[in-house]
Amino acid sequence: MEKAPRCHLSTTSTTSLTWDWLILASLWCISLFIVNPLGNFPLNDDWSYGLTVKHMIENGDYRPTIGWHYMSLITNVLWGSLFCIPFGFSFTALRLSTSALSLLGILGGHFLLRDLGVPRWQALIAIMTLAFNPVYYALSNTFMTDVPFTALLILAAVFFARNLKTDSNIDLFIGTILAAAAILSRQLAISVPLAFSVSLVMTRGRTYRSLLRAAGPPALCLGVLLVFQHWLRASARIDESFFDKTNDLLYVLQHPTTQVWIVANNIYVGLLYLGLFLMPVLIFVGADILWPRRKHVTAIFTLTLVAILSIFGIRILQSGKFDLMPMSGNILVGSGIGPLTLRDVLILNLPHVSPLPMSFWCIVTAMSLLGATLLITALVVRAIDLMSTLRRNGKIVGNEAVRAFLLLSVTIYLLPVFPSYYFDRWLIPAILFLAAGLADVPGHFPRFSLVQTRILRLTSFSLLTAFSIFALGTTKDYLSWNRVRWKALHNLMEVNHIGAENIDGGFEFNGLYLYDPHYSDNPKKSWWWVQGDGYQIGFGNIPGYKIIKEYSYPNWIPPRTGRLVVLQEDPQPSQK
């Protein structure tokens, strides 16, 4: 079989790529300066991962938090440990480690887009759609596992994609190593080598050599994962709770009929999120596939839109209220970026933090519905084109093979995600893969006039700008209130000499100081390992408590002065 010609970027392309990387890196560094990720405090689940890094640095031993994490994690711990070497352990160093790897993933993703022949302006919009996605950007300023995992998947995909076009052994080797590193971050990384294997067979045919090469990456990655898990279990570094997510998936597979509506709902919600996240890209993708007015494409779009709107209407009738975004929990919340992990808001649901206006979420929901419709239409059209090529030629080659690989990676990745409850942050690995798999439209839109093309670009860029402003502003707000929260907690402990066992300081505080895998929930206390709650931190007052100190912080979106309060249990609350 004749090898495909090796792809080289031209001198002009290499120069523009270098300038684009400088632009992306500069924008990334400027954004970090604006949001200010500094501060030695945990965010979300990263108190658990931080404790693992701390133990690694101090004792040279990998000991994950038993009973709390379900992912492989060791790649993240080793990477974070490197950034703690110069000045010792701190959550600031860990957040910088995530931001650094996030930037590498962004640059790698941009290279993937340009290597696919995506026009320069579209490639920049597509990669910034990921970089300044509110969920991705917020998580880039934490030590959560989602962004490093996504970055490693992107880097692995870069080399697998090059191998599909060049058959290079070096690319295959590097891609496999990066995929193995990703699978030692989160197990679902197996989706990329599996997708590569299928794509390689579709590209090279079912020869002995191609089958052998196709089997190598997933076999090696799966072997690495199984050996690692055996070591964890044999050395008592995990308990059976480590496999809870796997067991949940197996239960769904064993009882498919009882889970149909759950899976259907999860797919619907996931498509709305992905449609929203990809909207700056879907603007020009949708224009390209809809403008020729092919009857089958128009029919697909119309039927999809009717189905999406019908589901939306049915959910309104069932709940008796408008089912607006955000619909999935964790990062994107009603007030912006979260989670808001304090008892008064998260547990008691007290209205101490105002959500963004309903009009805002109505617009976001409308964009999500349109984005989901465009996304499904584009995917169906892509699948039809792929099947047509396979029937006609018996194989796919070049950039078409790479796009099939990227879209297949998303499909395999999402298959185990949708059957059970998932967080919005679990969807971010799909963003770039979908963008790169769909963004093959011509840069100059020959069917459009120059004015129409400029309008498309301006619309896409305007959406991207709005997403970026929202991402930076709400991430800064999230960091600001958490910074003040930890200042209040340190004052409470160091100035007032109150022990951690007497404080409900929120999920991260009690996890960091008091985590206990054998903790028994007390319905009168928060579930996050609270021993005594004579003192609490909140966004506002709680019945049975009195405010003993108040702190303020600047909130950007919307512009206001936010407040946090230190609460002390009142033995004789006033009767009203």
| Residue-wise pLDDT tens digits, 315-337 | 898 888 888 999 988 999 999 99
Domain boundary among 477, 503, 536: 477
Measured between alpha carbons, how far apart are the two ends of the chain, in Å? 86
Q: Tell me, yes or no, whether 468 and 544 share the same domain.
A: no
DSSP label of 502? G
In a domain? residue 576: no
For 258-284, the pLDDT digits (tens) are 778 888 999 999 999 999 999 999 998
Q: Tell me, yes or no, whether 112 and 233 share the same domain.
A: yes
* CA dist., res. 213 & res. 167, Å (int): 10
* CA dist., res. 562 & res. 481, Å (int): 8
Residue 7 sits at φ, ψ, to 5 deg, of -90, 125
Domain boundary among 477, 499, 514: 477
Question: Where do we find the tokens 């970089």?
Answer: 131
Q: What percent of the chain clears pLDDT 90, i.e. is strictly above it?
A: 75
pLDDT attached to residue 289: 82
Alpha-carbon dihedral sign for residues 213, 214, 220, 221: positive
User: Which of 141-155, 202-216, 522-536 is predicted least confidently?
Assistant: 202-216
The mean per-residue pLDDT over the stretch 416-435 comes to: 93
pLDDT attached to residue 4: 42
Three-class SS of 299-351: HHHHHHHHHHHHHHHHHHHHHCCCCCCCCCCCCEECCEECCCCCHHHHHCCCC
* CA dist., res. 77 & res. 97, Å (int): 10
For β-strands 560-569 and 503-504, DSSP reports them as unpaired
Q: Tell me, yes or no, whether 455 and 483 share the same domain.
A: no
Tokens of 378: 């584009």
In a domain? residue 5: no
The mean per-residue pLDDT over the stretch 396-425 comes to: 92
Tokens of 223: 């072997």
Q: Which amino acid is located at 341 in the chain?
A: T
pLDDT attached to residue 392: 85
Spatial CB neighbours of 199, under 8 Å, sequence gap ≥ 6: 164, 396, 401, 402, 404, 405, 408
Q: Tell me, yes or no, whether 101 and 119 share the same domain.
A: yes
pLDDT attached to residue 3: 42
The mean per-residue pLDDT over the stretch 477-493 comes to: 98
pLDDT attached to residue 373: 97
Between 100 and 319, residue with greater pLDDT: 100
* CA dist., res. 337 & res. 275, Å (int): 19
Question: Where do we find the tokens 């206001």?
Answer: 560
Q: Which amino acid is located at 254 in the chain?
A: Q
CB 145 within 8 A of CB 71: yes
Judged against a pLDDT cut of 80, whether residue 170 lies above it is answered with yes
H/E run at residue 51: helix 46-59
The mean per-residue pLDDT over the stretch 143-170 comes to: 96
Q: Tell me, yes or no, whether 539 and 408 share the same domain.
A: no
For 120-146, the pLDDT digits (tens) are 989 999 999 999 999 999 999 999 999
Q: Which residue blocks in 132-236 are alpha helix, DSSP H?
A: 134-140, 146-166, 169-183, 191-204, 208-234
* CA dist., res. 149 & res. 101, Å (int): 9
Judged against a pLDDT cut of 90, whether residue 440 lies above it is answered with no
* CA dist., res. 204 & res. 210, Å (int): 6
The mean per-residue pLDDT over the stretch 52-76 comes to: 94
Give helix 450-494 / helix 120-131 axis angle, nearest 10°: 20
Q: Tell me, yes or no, whether 509 and 371 share the same domain.
A: no
Tokens of 381: 């059209």
Count how many domains the chain has. 2
* CA dist., res. 543 & res. 276, Å (int): 39
Q: How confident is the model at residue 389 (pLDDT cuts 50, 70, 90)?
A: confident
**What is the number of other CB atoms lying within 10 angstroms of the CB of residue 543?**
10
Q: Tell me, yes or no, whether 429 and 517 share the same domain.
A: no
User: Which of 33-42, 82-91, 103-112, 206-215 is predicted least confidently?
Assistant: 206-215
Query: What is the Cα Rg of the chain in Å?
Result: 25
Question: What Cα–Cα distance (Å) separates residue 29 from each residue in 35, 237, 510?
Answer: 10, 37, 32
In a domain? residue 2: no
H/E run at residue 443: none
Between 343 and 255, residue with greater pLDDT: 343
CB 410 within 8 A of CB 256: no
In a domain? residue 323: yes
For β-strands 535-538 and 503-504, DSSP reports them as parallel
pLDDT attached to residue 1: 37
The mean per-residue pLDDT over the stretch 345-371 comes to: 96
In a domain? residue 3: no
* CA dist., res. 72 & res. 228, Å (int): 8
* CA dist., res. 516 & res. 549, Å (int): 29
Q: Tell me, yes or no, whether 320 and 366 share the same domain.
A: yes
The mean per-residue pLDDT over the stretch 206-219 comes to: 92
The answer, as to whether pTM is greater than 0.85, is: yes
For 441-481, the pLDDT digits (tens) are 544 455 667 787 888 889 999 999 999 999 999 999 999 99
**What is the number of other CB atoms lying within 10 angstroms of the CB of residue 137?**
27
Spatial CB neighbours of 333, under 8 Å, sequence gap ≥ 6: 326, 339, 340
Domain boundary among 458, 477, 496: 477
CB 471 within 8 A of CB 134: yes
Q: What percent of the chain clears pLDDT 70, i.e. is strictly above it?
A: 95
Between 8 and 376, residue with greater pLDDT: 376
The residue among 43, 156, 160 whose CA lies nearest residue 104 is: 156
Q: Tell me, yes or no, whether 147 and 283 share the same domain.
A: yes
Question: Where do we find the tokens 């930890």?
Answer: 486
Q: Tell me, yes or no, whether 425 and 528 share the same domain.
A: no
Q: Which amino acid is located at 336 in the chain?
A: G
The mean per-residue pLDDT over the stretch 565-573 comes to: 87
In a domain? residue 6: no
pLDDT attached to residue 9: 57
CB 188 within 8 A of CB 179: no
**Whole domain around residue 99: which residue ranges?**
11-477
The residue among 128, 192, 127 whose CA lies nearest residue 157 is: 192
Q: Tell me, yes or no, whether 307 and 399 share the same domain.
A: yes
Q: Which amino acid is located at 396 in the chain?
A: I
Judged against a pLDDT cut of 50, whether residue 181 lies above it is answered with yes
Residue 337 bridge partners (DSSP) = 332
In a domain? residue 521: yes
In a domain? residue 420: yes
The mean pLDDT of the chain is 92
Question: Where do we find the tokens 């617009």?
Answer: 363
Q: Tell me, yes or no, whether 362 and 510 share the same domain.
A: no
The mean per-residue pLDDT over the stretch 498-504 comes to: 97
